[in-house]
Amino acid sequence: MPLGAVVFAAAPIAFALIRALQSGHDLRMLWMAIAALVGAAAAAALGGMNRRRGRGRVAVWLAAIVVGTALAAVVGRLLGATAMIGVILVAFVLAGCWATSLAIGAIATSPD
């Protein structure tokens, strides 16, 4: 696994753990990070990110960001977050990290 993929995968968990430590008890961002992972990974798997190249892979990457963002935002809202702009921005960053990690991994393991 390339270092870039590991860094992008570790970032959402690191952000969530920092938030939990700062607040003392707020685990919403951790649950949002997990939801973003589930959404991004599902979109990447269903879109066949590992089988695509070029623009096809970019399209799946974008879909992974959109699905991961949506799922993380819903989880954040369900857990009581009220500032929707903030929820959407945090969800977007979390999903973007996961989707980028998945894309880097797909590129690194691509046969060509």
Domain boundaries, the chain: 3-108
pLDDT for res 100? 96
pLDDT digits (tens, 9 = 90+) for 6-47: 999 999 999 999 999 999 888 999 999 999 999 999 999 999
Q: Using CA atoms, how far apart are residues 69 and 93, in angstroms rounded to an integer?
A: 8
pLDDT digits (tens, 9 = 90+) for 38-96: 999 999 999 988 888 888 899 999 999 999 999 999 999 999 999 999 999 999 999 99
Q: Using CA atoms, how far apart are residues 103 and 81, in angstroms rounded to an integer?
A: 29
* pTM of the entire predicted model: 0.92
Which of 4, 71, 74 has its CA nearest to residue 38?
71
